[in-house]
Structure 1
């Protein structure tokens, strides 16, 4: 049943049906209508995490100074005009509000209908509030952070009972430079004011915001290229100018590379980088000048740690003789690296395509993603077949409950792994 369309035609009936589904499912009974998969899975996470559906828990608000600091430092600040133009005028007229939260689910901005803003105050949906899913239950801010896709939560689909008169639609905003989640934009209001097209509307505006970030990034690379050109022209040997995220603006003495992996704590001096080996790192306005040194790499056993403990944030840490670094992973890269830990002897593109999509012919997508992974893992990841370096120690940190393993993944191999460990459907009797 299309609940969005039903809510638009008869909000009272929709709310009653959703409440029946919610009460039956949370009581371990089979409802007449099954909850949508994204909602059922979220409720399962809440029950396993001990969130009380009858208790409106709110953590302490951030101070005004901390909210202002986060606003100043957030890349979301760059897309505020896009979000306001795309959402705010319609939201205000339709008695909604626009809510913008950071990657941690902290509300940074909210604007829109004054009447709805007052209702939001009663729910604790205000600047500085923590709206992570594992704090306030299934909702249009915290749930998109976990599943990394747009989610609409109607009335009784909220896990916490006090939120069931509310409906919210949120879409994640992904930084195009590194695939990192930087926040969520949400449109919220009473159930009777929502429209079936709200989900597509909010998602399209989030995509416009990402396109704006992409254009701004390209402009910054052009500026860096102009700064680096005189220095590169004077150099012999291999060198490149990259921005703070490792995107190449200019290259000399070597084939062009689009991006290389950089440690978060990179500083000037002699450094070892997985993709290049030993380098001399010099600061540039807006980035770094990397001069490749033709020296042997430090010897020793590297250690690779794949951290899948948190369903909303996966990370990779490499501890090598020449230095250590960590990186937050996109959901797709987390899937692929997990699959390689399951196949230490190696896995070809066709096998990974079958694992991810149930279709061994989708090798082009797999090869493109593996190429991106090799940019930051360098020689620690071999190909033909894809596999970790034979001397590397590889450790995987898995969640306590197997149902929380890569919850966004629908890949057949990941699904089988969850089921084999006892992670079947979370709520069905």
Structure 2
């Protein structure tokens, strides 16, 4: 088994993925997906993606898929018969293929590693998808380098070839180039900014806190739990969302539209005029968030700054789906950056914090990096043994045979 796959299986097992029972969950119904993807930044370049890679995928009885930056499928294209086969494993628009939910797969693992990968049929963690192979590559924002989505080719034939992976990577890079061209064109056509029309700044602090602290103008305050969820979701949606989309991101149950309207009315009264806009709902102000500062540090490869700024999970008490998603993505990115670093000091700074004190992977990596004569090495090894015992994970042993589904 390739090391990349073995590590992914280990992460899948630690995330609690059941190899025999796991399946992609529905994140949004099709009519809602149509609205969401129409406003997505990748919408203008999807026709190019299909023209470059999709037609070849269709001709070879595969499906082309494009997700957003959270592994949620926005477009799936292929012959009708092949798409029906893909539906049997829930590889359809509106489903979530995150590695920590469905296990090792090219799309989810590509986002997890921020790199192009191919996964052949036997390398999938979940039993239900072992007849399929896939290749995927992330698409980055041409300026911020943030992951905007993933382009993927999936089929029951031979997908895991250098040629297929090269085509997928080339398509992702072409999409990035086209996005850059469109940004330049949009700026060239945009009116000159008016310095007298500077938007007010809303500062949000939510890492390690039960609620959001907000600062605007000379005012400082704390929002209620529900208003914190709403503002945290809107802060990540500069183009806005519909009332229905916002409800799905904030509530983990069905609510009446009037409930969200009432919450927005109260929130507008707290923040004041000019901060909230409706149809779609969005924040009409410049926004600075402490979790965004961590993301910026990670994107800028300033890991020491990211560790220092990360005070804990985003709104850890929140169960709002949109907040939970943001929280998990940020912690995964920070954890992955630490795991690939070579600084024992940074690992020690992280594991001393509450958010990482029970993270077995980080303790193991710290133990690897520390010299045996360091006074911290024995303490780190003790933590590794303690956590392995608590999590019911045996000490590392011989390589697991390929025929097993679990590590």
Question: Under TM normalisation by the shorter chain, which class is it?
Answer: 0.5 to 0.7
Report the structure, 1 or 2, having the larger helix content: 2
User: Secondary structure in 2 aligned to 1:227?
Assistant: coil
Aligned mates of 1:404, 1:119 — CA distance in 2:
40
CA shift for structure 1 position 113: 2.8
Q: Deviations over 1:169-208 (max 9, x none)?
A: 1111111232221111100001336543111110111011
Where structure 1 has 5 or more consecutive residues not aligned to the other structure, the ranges are 1-34, 236-240, 245-260, 273-285, 288-321, 343-354, 360-386, 388-393
1:283 matched residue in structure 2 = none
For normalisation by structure 2, the TM-score amounts to 0.55
User: Secondary structure in 2 aligned to 1:52?
Assistant: coil
1:182 matched residue in structure 2 = 148
Report the structure, 1 or 2, having the larger strand content: 1
Matched, 1:326 2:279: no
Aligned mates of 1:79, 1:215 — CA distance in 2:
11
CA contact (8 A) 2:120 2:159 kept: no
Aligned mates of 2:48, 2:368 — CA distance in 1:
38
Structure 1 residues 41-190: aligned runs within 5 Å: 41-190=7-156
Structure 1 residues 198-213: aligned runs within 5 Å: 198-213=164-179
Larger Rg: 1
Name the CA shift for 1:264/1:194 in 2 (closer, same or farther; >3 Å): same
2:361 matched residue in structure 1 = 403
Matched, 1:227 2:192: yes
Equivalences, count: 269
CA shift for structure 1 position 83: 0.6
User: Secondary structure in 2 aligned to 1:172?
Assistant: strand
Q: Deviations over 1:112-157 (max 9, x none)?
A: 2333212111111011112111111101111111111111000111
Aligned mates of 1:187, 1:356 — CA distance in 2:
27
CA shift for structure 1 position 65: 2.9
Aligned mates of 1:428, 1:205 — CA distance in 2:
40
Aligned mates of 1:163, 1:331 — CA distance in 2:
36
User: Secondary structure in 2 aligned to 1:134?
Assistant: helix
CA contact (8 A) 1:180 1:330 kept: no
Aligned mates of 1:426, 1:191 — CA distance in 2:
37
Q: Deviations over 1:76-126 (max 9, x none)?
A: 112102211110111111111101111221111100233321211111101
Aligned mates of 2:109, 2:10 — CA distance in 1:
12
Aligned mates of 1:426, 1:145 — CA distance in 2:
28
Name the CA shift for 1:118/1:416 in 2 (closer, same or farther; >3 Å): same
Name the CA shift for 1:41/1:270 in 2 (closer, same or farther; >3 Å): same
Matched, 1:416 2:369: yes
Name the CA shift for 1:105/1:151 in 2 (closer, same or farther; >3 Å): same
User: Secondary structure in 2 aligned to 1:95?
Assistant: coil
User: Secondary structure in 2 aligned to 1:125?
Assistant: coil
CA shift for structure 1 position 331: 8.4
Aligned mates of 1:334, 1:65 — CA distance in 2:
37
Aligned mates of 1:204, 1:76 — CA distance in 2:
16
1:192 matched residue in structure 2 = 158
Aligned mates of 2:218, 2:174 — CA distance in 1:
38
CA shift for structure 1 position 66: 2.1
User: Secondary structure in 2 aligned to 1:197?
Assistant: helix
Q: Deviations over 1:314-344 (max 9, x none)?
A: xxxxxxxx985431626854863337758xx
Q: CA RMSD, aligned part only?
A: 4.3
Aligned mates of 1:357, 1:174 — CA distance in 2:
22
Where structure 2 has 5 or more consecutive residues not aligned to the other structure, the ranges are 206-213, 220-237, 240-286, 309-338, 347-351, 389-393, 399-407
